[in-house]
Structure 1
Amino acid sequence: MLNDALRLSDSNRIDSLIKIGIATVLLCILSPLNIDIGMEVPLTLQSLLVVFFSVLFGWLNGSVPVLVYLLLGGFGAPVFADYNSGWDLFLGSSGGFLIGFLIAANIVGFLAEMNIMMKNLFALVLLALGQFILLVVGLYWLQGVTNEEFSWGVQLQAFMPGLAMKTAFGGIVFIGLHRTAKRLANQS
């Protein structure tokens, strides 16, 4: 967790509000984008971003943006994948993934706060764990909503390449921010 290392204000409350605002805006702007790289499952940044901010800022500053993002999408802002929105998505086949966003963000944020001296490898593990948690919640929900039996192995295999790419990308960004924070601390 780099919450203390990446200070944006001397006031803790203002610092938290700025981080929550930045994370919410980035979630809303980047999450609807669908990146087609020829995989079976389209690549979106939603699952990475919802856990990335919790790894970066901890439980509260990472989970509140996810909650705001979900509320905005529920009330009609086109912030979900493919610029979708609405409460009906929470009841349909993607509902488990949306609910999983908040579950994963909370768990990962809690674990990140337990490890104050965040090492880059631990951050990668948390990024992968968070995406895996929401994937399991989403697939479990999907199976319940469709009432169809499917092979968990096949489903996980379809999602794993994207999960691995997003985890690697998130890790690179985290390492870059970690190094920047260290450099700024050494200059102070």
Structure 2
Amino acid sequence: MERSIALIAIFAALIAALGLMPNLMLATGVPITAQSLGVMLCGTVLGAKRGGLSVLLFVGLVALGLPLLAGGRGGLGVFASPTVGFIVGFPIAAFTTGFVMEQMRRQSVGLAAGVSAAVGGILVLYLFGITGFMFVLDKGLGESLIVLGAYIPGDIIKVILAGFITAGLAKARPASLLSRT
């Protein structure tokens, strides 16, 4: 129990730390950050339940006002920004990533992590992100897809990184990969 709580907190901190990396804010109001990589890793390493809880903790801390999002953003105001869909979708994306990872136990860790990260960290996260973007900026689906589609190549790189990082962790410390137990 204590180990799970500690890992949930550590991975929430990892997402916050990835927000400290220099980000690029595009005119759309949606920054390019490494935080979605942290969301993917929460699912691939911790599994559905712990991964989702870790990201939920992170989002809760942001809501309380801690400036943990890229660019030092935090507080309730971020839930009225063009990124609201991504922020709300983070825990669901991590849960989905972990769930898919858990279902792919018979596959190699790297492949399972890559597929899981793509499903949760791109498909599910963009479903929420595009929806939030559309509502906040009063844009249509087509326009939102075009604008946010520019971010997908970077997210594909994050999916590949999540696969390699998770596979490396599994090789170095197999017991630390809770999504496979």
TM-score by length of 1: 0.80
How high is the sequence identity, in percent, across the aligned residues? 28
Counterpart position of 1:122: 112
Counterpart position of 2:63: 74
Query: What is the DSSP-based 3-state SS (H/G/I as helix, E as strand, rest coil) of the residue aligned with 2:173?
Result: helix
User: CA 1:15 to 1:158, structure 2 compared with 1: closer, same or farther past 3 Å?
Assistant: same
Q: Is 1:136 paired with 2:106?
A: no
Computed over aligned residues only, the root mean square deviation of the Cα atoms, in angstroms, reads 2.5
Deviations 1:136-178 (A, max 9, x none): 2111211122112243552353011111111122222112112
Amino acid at match of 2:172: T
Query: What is the DSSP-based 3-state SS (H/G/I as helix, E as strand, rest coil) of the residue aligned with 1:83?
Result: coil
Match of 1:64 among 53, 62, 73: 53
Counterpart position of 1:10: none
Aligned equivalents of 1:111, 1:48: Cα separation in 2: 16
The answer to whether the 8 Å contact 1:24/1:69 transfers is yes
Query: What is the DSSP-based 3-state SS (H/G/I as helix, E as strand, rest coil) of the residue aligned with 1:77?
Result: coil
Q: Is 1:16 paired with 2:1?
A: no
Counterpart position of 2:19: 31
Q: How many residues align?
A: 171
The answer to whether the 8 Å contact 1:96/1:140 transfers is yes
The answer to whether the 8 Å contact 1:24/1:66 transfers is yes
Query: What is the DSSP-based 3-state SS (H/G/I as helix, E as strand, rest coil) of the residue aligned with 1:78?
Result: coil
Query: What is the DSSP-based 3-state SS (H/G/I as helix, E as strand, rest coil) of the residue aligned with 1:85?
Result: coil
5+ residue gaps, structure 2:
177-181
User: CA 1:153 to 1:144, structure 2 compared with 1: closer, same or farther past 3 Å?
Assistant: closer
